[in-house]
Amino acid sequence: MASNSTSDTNVTWFIYRGPDGEAVPRDVTHLRVHPSVTVIPAAAFHGRVKLQQVELPDGLRNIGEGAFYECHTLRNVKLPEGLQEIGEWAFGYCHKLSRMKIPSAVVVIFRS
């Protein structure tokens, strides 16, 4: 079984491998989405109030509704250029997230 965390310079990153992988800890601070993940399901990281930084893979195509909802301390997210859809309230109540560049490939944002 592959490890679900890595360490970089005193920071431990949790590796999210999709909905069938290990559950994301409530106190996670740094999150990497595994390159095999193309869709982040609705509410996947909802309420991870200590989450500060997220790394998303180039192959990611869809971020589900409320995926990062209420991740109050989330500061850094770089959306991959191939991203096509961002669900409703995907980044709702992410108070520390002040700017985000939306890739040109995104065709749906906040669908209802």
pLDDT of 7-44, one tens digit each?
A: 667 899 999 999 999 999 999 999 999 999 999 999 99
Does 92 score more than 90 pLDDT? yes
Q: Nearest 5°: CA angle at 25, between 5 and 36?
A: 50
Q: How far apart are CA 71 and CA 75, in angstroms?
A: 9
Average pLDDT, stretch 37-55? 97
Does 111 score more than 80 pLDDT? no
Nearest to residue 45, comparing CAs of 62, 59, 24? 24
Copy the structure tokens of residue 20. Answer: 């069938």
Q: How far apart are CA 51 and CA 49, in angstroms?
A: 6
Give the DSSP letter of residue 80: -
Q: How far apart are CA 48 and CA 59, in angstroms?
A: 23
The pLDDT of residue 8: 66
Percent of the chain with pLDDT over 70: 91
112 pLDDT band (50/70/90 cuts)?
very low
Average pLDDT over the chain reads 91
Whether the full predicted model's pTM is greater than 0.75, yes or no, is yes
64 pLDDT band (50/70/90 cuts)?
very high
Q: How far apart are CA 107 and CA 111, in angstroms?
A: 10
